[in-house]
Structure 1
Amino acid sequence: MIKRFIALFSILIALAASAGTGDWVLYPSYHNATYCQKAGDRIYILASGALFSYNTSDDEVRTYDKINTLSDIDITHIAYCKDIKALVIVYSNANIDILYEDDEVYNISDFKNKSLPSKKINGINIQGTTAYLSTSFGIVELDLEEYEFTNTYNTGLNTYCTYLFKDKLFCGTETGMFCCDINKNLLDKNNWVKKNNHFTKAICELDGMLYCHLYEYGIYSYNADTNILKDLIYNHGEKYNAVYSTGKEIIASAKKKTTVITGPQNIVTYKNTGSNFILWDGNSFWDCKGYRGIVKCDIKDNNIVEVATPIVPNCPIRNYCEFMQFTSDDKLLVAGGNLNFFDITFYDGTLMEYDYLDDKWTNLPEDNIKQVTGIPYLNLCSIDEDPTEPGHYFAGSFGYGLYEFRDGKFVKHYNLDNSPLESVLPTSYEAYRFVRITSVKFDNEGNLWCTNTGVKNIVKILKKDGTWTELYYKAVDKLPTIVDPFIDSRGWLWLTSLQDETGVFCAKMNGTTFDTSDDESKIWLNKFTNQDGISYDVYQVYAVVEDMNGEIWVGTNTGLFVIDNPSTFFDKGIFKQIKVPRNDGTGLADYLLSGTYIKAMKVDGANRKWVGTNDNGVYLISADGKETIHHFTTENSPLPSNNIVSIAINGKSGDVFIGTDKGMASFMSDATRPQETLDEKNIYAYPNPVRANYSGNISIVGLTHGCNVKIVDAAGFLINEGTSNGGQYNWNGRNQQGEKVPSGVYYVLTYDSNGDEGVATKILVTR
């Protein structure tokens, strides 16, 4: 009883502090630190296309995203303007934000909205209050005080850097450095004079002299009067990745070295390791260490050494989220592998755990696994938790077998030598690279089901006792893209054939799970026929789920199909397409999401379907499919991308996690998993108490599906009534006249299927 109370109290605390119904949260990765800028006491860090800051005076770490501050996602460049005390932020789509010290943002979208063949911004240099944008076609000047683009110089040159020096505008391109007198017509391409023939990646100034970073060669000083380039530092094998001026010195950083230039004759090079960019703030170095974040460093024995703990916010290690699911103890598991069989990209091994109650991300170890196993650690496509042992995980790799973890530590690698797992190319000397485990899933007894695709016995089961068994079905023998095994409410096994030979497989297991001799099985490949006799060529099936009514919903490249009666479907093979009435007087209807490329699907606590698409965002469809409740895209929501790759739902809270090709977001829905019976010990409301400044919904959770709810005041007068959505009822804090209720205690009454009434919980409102 004490444990149950503590768990419930923890959930209440988490929900009270979390987003309200209808609110969004973004989960960008801030791990891969690639660049930083000093701004007073703050250091702004660009990492994984996102932005965070570290305050050197009080150690505060602050993150910035599309919800709390910024206008967009996928940052490519940042630069600080001392004159206006603001950070200029450039996005991959050419959108621009100006972020001030008080975290106010001014957005400049003019350049983004222009119709141009290419709007790529390669770099930004700020002099005074002018930002010079080096673009794929030339130079664009932006007045940071007036928020106006003042000049555009279409030189036709793919420009990487721009610098104004002694009334001459210099630009570095892939084919050399050019310059033009600002008193001449800069729009005339003939006025731009070529100064060298080498890829010039950076131009900066120190003590009245120009310094050029010739990417293939090194750092040169340039005398603008004599047009003489002088070799100062040759690359000697390792190229510098960044060169800039602090006003007192030139800093040139590379992965393994950093050079400080205080004059043509004063050059010192220090050793460092694993650097993407090094900032010198006048007192210390700040080293962008990639996935380790940013770290403060000093000089010791001619080496740049770390003197503090690396700084990185609590976040996913990468924006890879091809697979997501919640465990029974409210942890979100994420695998970042790629399952596009037509364009296989081998992503770094990425497994992440998000503790929903503690709001904490844990990235499962990956650094030493390759050294232990002797093979690459790549493309982890699926992960699941042992239901009998929390923290015990298995993950499948598309190519490299099965991995086991326990309590955050790598335990074992299952491969060709120590398990019945098979290779698609068994006779190849690289057979170990083709052990394709596309899915892993535990059943309720603790047996691990794996799809070892492309081989004879595709279904492999690691039993709870540690022994293996295999299931052979002729229909899926050697099919290359089998994924997502699940056993439905009838005890039938379903498999998805994702690509190539595309379709749905089903086996009636007749209660003998590990014996296929009495199974009846069937597969539907490449062509689906609906109830009206219309046939569709199906090239991809990404999502097959069972809803609360036992219906099987199938998402394909050509739309959404339903197996509404699997028993009759098994013999007839007719798919149902739901018809949505047009309600325009014609009596006509359209097939639900016909022609929509569906990539992901999940069923929520109200039996509604969350449907993720390839390039059209995510839909929330009513339980019967007749109504589209929400259609979220990047235009009307904070979604990072319209390309949805995965969906996971926390049944207890109603949070819907949406994975995209550019990272994760969550939406607090209005439906939770229903309870089987009403029990006041499981029913609670949040937020509770309701403060004066709160204007969102008050959620009552722990209800049965379709439960009747009444809210009354202390005198017993009816304030609000309705029916639960799944296991949740949402009250807007208003009475039946639409007025906000005054301070007081309000009682939530619930009615079960027998009509018996009871006080479920109380809500305190303070105005």
Structure 2
Amino acid sequence: MVKRILFFAIIALPLLSFCQDFSALWQGHFSFNEIKDLSYGGNKIYAASTNAIFSLDVNTNEIEEITTINGLSGETISTIYYSEDYQLLVVGYENGLIEIVFDNDDNVLSVVDIIEKSTIPGQNKRINHFNAYQNKIYVSTNFGVSVFDLERLEFGDTYFIGDGGAQVQVSQTAVLGDYIYASCIDGNGIRRALVDSANLIDFQNWQLVTSGSWYAVEAFQENLYATRTNNRMYQVSQGAITEVAAYSAVPRDLRATNENLLVATTNRVFVYDSGFSVQVEIPVNESFETNYTSAMLGEGYVYIGTTDFGILKVPVANPDTIEEVHPDGPLLNIPFSLQIEPNGLWVTYGEYDLYYNPYPLNNRGFSHLKNGGWINNRYSEVFEAKCLNSIAVNPLDNNQVFISSFFSGLLEVNEDVPTVLYDETNSGLESLVLPNDPKYIDVRVGASTFDNNGLLWLTNGLVENQLKSYNPSNNQWRSYPLKEIIPKAFDNNGFADIVIDNNNTKWMAAGYSYGVLAYNEGYGSNGIKAIYSEDENMPTTFVTALALDNRNQLWIGTEKGIRVLYNTSNFFDDDSAEVDEIIIEEDGVAKELLFQQYITDIKVDGANNKWIGTVDSGVYLFSPNGQNTIFHFTKENSPLPSNSVRDIALDENNGTVYIATTRGLVSFQSGSSATTEDLRSAYVYPNPVRPGFDMVEDKVKIKDISENVNIKITDIEGNLVAEAQSRTNQRYEGFNLEIDGGTAYWNGKNLANNLVASGVYLVMLSDLDTFETKVLKLMVVR
């Protein structure tokens, strides 16, 4: 009841806002392997990953996720604290944001006071620690200490406690006796002040207890303990410090329970009893090679936060028994490239920069979402292949996948097991050649895709022949020269994308210098051409994404907007070929669609709608011709954890849209699906429509329809109730009967815009191209 009263009390406060729950249509696919902080309360362990949280019920072992789907911001979490008294979780972020997650409530409260403080530099706003005392939380930050009132959910005073009132980095606070203590980094020591003083805002009331740089300070059993940057722990008393422990690694976490003091270093956890004797010591286990980040004690177990395995649950009585605990998810929250397979998704973590520079090289593995569960291959399992990026699934064998490495070559994966790494020694791939270091090996494989015949086409950067093909059925490699467009190996650093059209032309986004490059070996010497100049209406030479739509039109994403090549069939024969911008009308003014926007990806769904990702404006869904904006998702109006979108993947079997951002992976249930070749498998559901079903909101679906279809719905006496046609009554345009690719949606209303009565209705389908027909019966019970 207290919490509900709080809701009404804080509505008018200016620096608070509520974020909604999006779980109806969205799903999060976050990694919980790297744990930033832990908190315990209400019989639950709360664990914060980079930008998402999960809870573990210590009694039932039930796991629940709290992500952007539930209203979290998606920013980088730095610390958390659960208040049992107020039944809420407080989340602190590196950018200074604080969010409040209430128990059994769908809303998340955002507190932006620190973010909006113009007097504090951005790098100083990081939230380092929460320390609860009475009805307040002392918030340790990189600028000092702020006080947050848990009862009123508002900030009080801010204390700048450095010499002369300077902003100093406070790592942690603790209250012991009459004093509050603050441990500080950067040589600013440990400082204290009377906790009940009415004038803590005056820096002169904060006394320097001892100098040095300190990671943490904690009160335990009437004593004060602190960890220092020299990897030692001290007892602090009356201005004197006494060393009580030395560690071989950095002490990352220091916290106390009623009976124990816990210290987590990067490689060990120590649990001390009230006499400061080590009750249990838990080193890093060889089966879980990782770094420790934090530790909690509860119900006879030590819960250890790690950088690679989520929580490790260790019994105090038997520390050799270790259980890995975290929700199922991908390896990391920095997806780089996505690739759909039937009812599955592949994810890599890249990466290379704007100029196709993979340095510093990364070691990240890859992930596979299969049958609803995640299969993760870590770096140790991928033959040390670095900078994994583009993914290609063999259309003739979906269990065979090829993953490009922008340093090590090409990784072949069979049945989720990496089997071969192709490089300059065992394939047609080539290493770049450095004039001053001819022995240096760097095999940069980027954009790749399969053609319909099962031939893999891939790009090999910074070499003479930058287009390759590989036939997995006979292990045959071929190289194709692109010198007519790219004269020298180092003239083009890489390719952003490659797609293949109905004429077997390979369209490539040729780095930042050569725009769109087309290659078709069937045209002989005339089968290579590029389009990138202003005379051809290109806004820039830097092309970032390509997509062929259902009409074989090429959509081109650049660093400065969108272009479309409508006539791809005659491209090699057309000496005056040029691309077109899309002009839309907005408030009566003609404008170019996505003018000057940096486009990161383009995907086409079953209804020929265009999903377009951007570098800083989220995701758009446009109608087939780009004239209508159906959706525009940003982190402000959706669960996107970031407005910087890296890749998009569409599962046309179930209408799921996967969106990879710089801060994690989410999916949206669009409902769109691919069309079928005929009407044989068409069906309608739910059938029957029962009284509890809301036809207006949830709609009756007619699935597996062909591309160009007319649909008539009549009553049993033949009276027309609703009618639609594929290219006229498109979804999101307000019709009672709408068609979106392979699915039609009926809201249960007739031509008079009234809900139909109970009865039997006939759904008559007619393919306008083949003249095939099919009739479905639908029972409606209201």
Same fold (TM over 0.5): yes
Change (3 A) 1:742 1:21: farther
Change (3 A) 1:425 1:127: farther
Where in structure 2 are the equivalents of 1:37-76 lying within 5 Å? Answer: 37-68=39-70, 70=72, 73-76=75-78
The whole-number CA distance in structure 2 between the counterparts of 1:757 and 1:583 is: 43
The whole-number CA distance in structure 1 between the counterparts of 2:770 and 2:437 is: 70
After superposition, give the CA deviation of every residue in 1:408-461 in whole Å (9 maximum; x if it has no partner): 112111122212211113677795651101123222222222211110111122
Where in structure 2 are the equivalents of 1:125-144 lying within 5 Å? Answer: 125-144=131-150
Instruction: Give 1:563's match in structure 2, choosing from 565, 572, 584.
Output: 565
The whole-number CA distance in structure 2 between the counterparts of 1:691 and 1:69 is: 32
Instruction: Give 2:263's match in structure 1, choosing from 247, 252, 259.
Output: 252
Secondary structure at the aligned position of 1:190 is classed as helix
The whole-number CA distance in structure 1 between the counterparts of 2:98 and 2:781 is: 42
Match for 1:523: what amino acid?
A
C-alpha contact (below 8 Å) 1:747/1:762 kept by paired residues = yes
The CA deviation at 1:51 is 0.8
Deviates more, 1:669-678 or 1:395-404: 669-678
Match for 1:287: what amino acid?
I
The answer to whether 1:232 aligns with 2:240 is no
Q: Which residue of 2 aligns with 1:351?
A: 366
Secondary structure at the aligned position of 1:510 is classed as helix
Structure 1 unpaired stretches of 5+:
1-18, 512-516
The CA deviation at 1:736 is 4.0
C-alpha contact (below 8 Å) 1:403/1:413 kept by paired residues = yes
The CA deviation at 1:589 is 2.0
Q: Which residue of 2 aligns with 1:3?
A: none
C-alpha contact (below 8 Å) 2:300/2:316 kept by paired residues = no
The whole-number CA distance in structure 2 between the counterparts of 1:382 and 1:618 is: 20
Match for 1:165: what amino acid?
L
Q: Which residue of 1 aligns with 2:583?
A: 579
After superposition, give the CA deviation of every residue in 1:640-691 in whole Å (9 maximum; x if it has no partner): 1111111111122222221111112222225321223322x24343597566
After superposition, give the CA deviation of every residue in 1:16-40 in whole Å (9 maximum; x if it has no partner): xxx9999222222222234322223
Q: Which residue of 2 aligns with 1:91?
A: 93
Q: Which residue of 2 aligns with 1:471?
A: 480
Match for 1:608: what amino acid?
N
Q: Which residue of 1 aligns with 2:18?
A: none
Q: Which residue of 1 aligns with 2:11?
A: none
Match for 1:243: what amino acid?
L
Q: Which residue of 2 aligns with 1:15?
A: none
Match for 1:489: what amino acid?
N
C-alpha contact (below 8 Å) 2:392/2:448 kept by paired residues = yes
C-alpha contact (below 8 Å) 2:264/2:295 kept by paired residues = yes
Secondary structure at the aligned position of 2:534 is classed as strand
Q: Which residue of 2 aligns with 1:451?
A: 459
Q: Which residue of 2 aligns with 1:7?
A: none
The whole-number CA distance in structure 1 between the counterparts of 2:545 and 2:240 is: 64
Instruction: Give 1:270's match in structure 2, choosing from 281, 300, 304.
Output: 281
The whole-number CA distance in structure 2 between the counterparts of 1:745 and 1:508 is: 54
Instruction: Give 1:522's match in structure 2, choosing from 517, 529, 540.
Output: 529
Deviates more, 1:590-599 or 1:77-86: 77-86
Q: Which residue of 2 aligns with 1:216?
A: 230
Q: Which residue of 1 aligns with 2:344?
A: 331
Q: Which residue of 2 aligns with 1:315?
A: 329
Secondary structure at the aligned position of 1:67 is classed as helix
Instruction: Give 1:295's match in structure 2, choosing from 307, 312, 315.
Output: 312
The answer to whether 1:494 aligns with 2:507 is yes
The whole-number CA distance in structure 1 between the counterparts of 2:33 and 2:276 is: 38
The answer to whether 1:154 aligns with 2:154 is no
Change (3 A) 1:381 1:756: closer
Deviates more, 1:431-440 or 1:456-465: 431-440
Change (3 A) 1:336 1:746: farther
Q: CA RMSD in A?
A: 2.9
After superposition, give the CA deviation of every residue in 1:562-600 in whole Å (9 maximum; x if it has no partner): 11223257522422112223462xxx5222212111111
Q: Which residue of 2 aligns with 1:391?
A: 399
C-alpha contact (below 8 Å) 1:221/1:264 kept by paired residues = no
Match for 2:503: what amino acid?
R
The answer to whether 1:731 aligns with 2:746 is yes
The whole-number CA distance in structure 2 between the counterparts of 1:59 and 1:428 is: 59
Match for 1:624: what amino acid?
N
After superposition, give the CA deviation of every residue in 1:511-543 in whole Å (9 maximum; x if it has no partner): 6xxxxx544312234x43355xxx6344x3111
Change (3 A) 1:757 1:412: closer
Q: Which residue of 2 aligns with 1:10?
A: none
Q: Which residue of 1 aligns with 2:127?
A: 121
Match for 1:352: what amino acid?
S
The CA deviation at 1:760 is 4.4
The whole-number CA distance in structure 2 between the counterparts of 1:698 and 1:135 is: 53
Instruction: Give 1:286's match in structure 2, choosing from 291, 297, 303.
Output: 303
After superposition, give the CA deviation of every residue in 1:465-493 in whole Å (9 maximum; x if it has no partner): 11211111212342221243332122222
The whole-number CA distance in structure 2 between the counterparts of 1:656 and 1:457 is: 35
C-alpha contact (below 8 Å) 2:36/2:78 kept by paired residues = no
The whole-number CA distance in structure 2 between the counterparts of 1:154 and 1:519 is: 71
Change (3 A) 1:640 1:184: closer
Q: Which residue of 2 aligns with 1:749?
A: 764
Where in structure 2 are the equivalents of 1:197-216 lying within 5 Å? Answer: 197-216=211-230
After superposition, give the CA deviation of every residue in 1:330-352 in whole Å (9 maximum; x if it has no partner): 32222221132536353433322
Secondary structure at the aligned position of 1:523 is classed as strand
Scaled by the length of structure 2, the TM-score of the pair is 0.86
The whole-number CA distance in structure 2 between the counterparts of 1:428 and 1:690 is: 76
Secondary structure at the aligned position of 1:367 is classed as helix
The whole-number CA distance in structure 1 between the counterparts of 2:94 and 2:639 is: 17
The whole-number CA distance in structure 1 between the counterparts of 2:70 and 2:587 is: 40
The CA deviation at 1:85 is 3.4
Percent identity of equivalent pairs: 27
The CA deviation at 1:399 is 0.4
Deviates more, 1:283-292 or 1:358-367: 358-367
After superposition, give the CA deviation of every residue in 1:688-721 in whole Å (9 maximum; x if it has no partner): 7566164323332211224222334455444433
The whole-number CA distance in structure 1 between the counterparts of 2:640 and 2:475 is: 42
The answer to whether 1:367 aligns with 2:380 is yes
After superposition, give the CA deviation of every residue in 1:32-65 in whole Å (9 maximum; x if it has no partner): 2343222233221222321111222222111122
Scaled by the length of structure 1, the TM-score of the pair is 0.87
Deviates more, 1:59-68 or 1:90-99: 90-99
Q: Which residue of 1 aligns with 2:38?
A: 36
Q: Which residue of 1 aligns with 2:539?
A: 536
Q: Which residue of 1 aligns with 2:612?
A: 611
The whole-number CA distance in structure 2 between the counterparts of 1:296 and 1:742 is: 58
The CA deviation at 1:503 is 1.3
The whole-number CA distance in structure 1 between the counterparts of 2:90 and 2:244 is: 31
The answer to whether 1:504 aligns with 2:516 is yes
The whole-number CA distance in structure 1 between the counterparts of 2:328 and 2:674 is: 28
C-alpha contact (below 8 Å) 1:692/1:766 kept by paired residues = no
Secondary structure at the aligned position of 2:447 is classed as strand
The whole-number CA distance in structure 1 between the counterparts of 2:93 and 2:366 is: 28
Deviates more, 1:593-602 or 1:729-738: 729-738
The CA deviation at 1:379 is 1.2
Change (3 A) 1:506 1:127: same
The answer to whether 1:480 aligns with 2:493 is yes
Change (3 A) 1:495 1:759: closer
Instruction: Give 1:305's match in structure 2, choosing from 300, 320, 335.
Output: 320
Match for 1:750: what amino acid?
L
Structure 2 unpaired stretches of 5+:
1-20, 162-166, 285-289, 726-738
C-alpha contact (below 8 Å) 2:138/2:148 kept by paired residues = yes
The whole-number CA distance in structure 2 between the counterparts of 1:654 and 1:244 is: 47
